[in-house]
Structure 1
Amino acid sequence: MNVFKQLIKSLYSPKDIASYRTQGIGKTILYVFLLTLLSVIPTIYLLGSTIFGSLNTLETTIKNDFPAFEIKDGELISEDEVPLTINHEDLSIVFDSNGIVKKDELLNSENTIAFLQDEFVFNAGGQQQTYAYSLLGDKSIDKAMISDLLSSADSWLVIIISIMAVVIYIFTAAIRFIEISILALLGLLLMKIMQRKLEYRYLWRMSAYSVTLPTVFFTIMGALQTIVPNGAFISWLVGVIILMLSIKEIPHNKE
């Protein structure tokens, strides 16, 4: 049976999951990598869409709404004395060359880009990143140069997003293998309670397929950008229940 049929059957059939315990470990590892790939596709797609969308919004805003400015000697220089805040549907952009707006004031803001007096601030996902203009050294940059840079950003941005996608995939795969290993350890306890006899390697294979249902469910929720309360607890609970039902399909120990 190929891995795609196994994925479908693992969504509803503990009996089939129990039967996968004797297959080669290589095929099970391949299945875990495939399951991980499917689970990160929505995340990577939304990440890319957000970055490209924000970049286009930033480019248009700088070109049409920002006053003339220059970044020189580590400082943003402009004739405007009043901070400028432009709110878009999913992005807020702040321009302040007089030091009135402080980066700490932006901590609670979502998806915000700020050109402050001496640094560039980016808020996303509850995290704040800051980059001092002094990193430019003795080079100066103005509005036209930044607009041109953003206009030609699509080519190198694809490379950056691809690298980020690989990192996300590797990190998620590592977490998935750890999760399966822990679930298999819990399976040892379930096995004794249910009076079955299985080696850890068989439980590990069954655990790899037992996480299919919660993984697919939360992948769909992620694609819909829907937050599930207590998602981690629900994911573990469903995985344990499916593994328990799969162990139940194993014949009892012979006297």
Structure 2
Amino acid sequence: MNIFTRFVKSLYSPKEVAKYRFLGIGKTIFYVFVIMLISILPGIYHFSKMAATAIEEGKQVFLEDLPPFTITNGNLDTKQNQPLIIPKSNVTIVFDPTGDMSTKDVQEKGNSVGLLKHDFVIVANGQVQTFPYSALENMKVTNKDIDNFINSLKGVMWIAVPIIFLFYYLFVSALGFIKISIFAGIGSLFAQTLNRKLSYRQGWRLAAHSITLSTIFFMLMDFLNTGVPAGMFIDWFVSLLFLYLTIREIPKSKKVG
């Protein structure tokens, strides 16, 4: 059975997925890598789009829209005495030298870049990255320095972005394998409760396919930039429910005597 057929059936048919417990481990591992790749596609799309837009609009923002500023000794210093919110096409610029705004305030703006009193913040597709100015140590940074840096990014972006996402993909895949391993252990408990014969290795194969429905759902939500309240709980609940229904489709163990 090819991977596309397994993918489709893993979206709706616990009965078919139950048969995958005899699948080769190599095919199962490959399936996990494919599913993990699909799960980060929205992140790749939104981040790449935001990065390209940010570079194009960066020069205008730092040279025209923002007041002159200096980052030194871990602080953002400027004559501006109140926060500035500058909406752009696909990103919002938050400039706050007062210390009134936090990382959470920047995150609430959606895809955004924040120059706060002590930190530089990037929010892309709900993911937050914070860089403290103190990491610059004794360096002094001004508007012009950032403009020069943006110009240098144009030449390396299409090299750096794939490398960044390669490491991100490997990280997400590692988390996926850990999650599946945990689900396989829970699957063993399901099997005992349901009086089904299921080894851990077989349970791992079933768990790998049982995460498909939830993964695709959250991938689509990410593409639509739609947050899901209690997302992790829903993810685990749906995956474990599918795994439970799958194990229930396995024939019961025959009683001896």
* Same-fold status (TM-score > 0.5): yes
Pairwise TM-score range, normalised by the shorter structure: 0.7 to 0.9
> Is 2:114 the partner of 1:113?
yes
AA at the equivalent of 1:85 = L
**Deviations 1:17-64 (Å, cap 9, x if unpaired)?**
111111110100000000000001111221222233233322112233
Match of residue 165 from structure 1: 165
Match of residue 201 from structure 1: 201
How far the C-alpha of 1:217 sits from its partner, in A, is 0.6
Task: Note the residue ranges of structure 2 that are not aligned, 5 or more in a row.
Answer: 107-111
| Structure number with larger C-alpha Rg | 1
Match of residue 131 from structure 1: 133
Q: Which moved more, 1:153-162 or 1:2-11?
A: 153-162
> Is the Cα–Cα contact under 8 Å of residues 69 and 77 in structure 1 kept in the other structure?
yes
How far the C-alpha of 1:188 sits from its partner, in A, is 1.2
How far the C-alpha of 1:203 sits from its partner, in A, is 1.0
Q: 1:94 to 1:230 in 2, by over 3 A?
A: closer
**Deviations 1:146-187 (Å, cap 9, x if unpaired)?**
434423422212233222211211111111111111111111
What are the equivalent positions in structure 2 for 1:4-23 lying under 5 Å apart?
4-23=4-23
Match of residue 190 from structure 2: 190
> Is 2:37 the partner of 1:41?
no
Percent of matched pairs sharing the same residue:
34
> Is the Cα–Cα contact under 8 Å of residues 58 and 93 in structure 1 kept in the other structure?
no
State the aligned residue count. 245
The separation in 2 between residues aligned to 1:136 and 1:191, in whole angstroms, is: 60
The separation in 1 between residues aligned to 2:8 and 2:136, in whole angstroms, is: 55
The separation in 2 between residues aligned to 1:251 and 1:135, in whole angstroms, is: 64
- Secondary structure of 2:226's match? coil
The separation in 1 between residues aligned to 2:73 and 2:208, in whole angstroms, is: 56
Task: Note the residue ranges of structure 1 that are not aligned, 5 or more in a row.
Answer: 96-100
The separation in 2 between residues aligned to 1:127 and 1:70, in whole angstroms, is: 21
Q: CA RMSD in A?
A: 3.0
Match of residue 98 from structure 1: none
What are the equivalent positions in structure 2 for 1:33-182 lying under 5 Å apart?
33-66=33-66, 85=84, 87-89=86-88, 90-94=91-95, 101-103=97-99, 105-110=101-106, 111-114=112-115, 121-124=120-123, 125=127, 128-132=130-134, 135=137, 137=139, 143=143, 146-182=146-182
- Secondary structure of 1:109's match? helix
Q: 1:104 to 1:252 in 2, by over 3 A?
A: same
TM-score if structure 2 supplies the norm length?
0.80
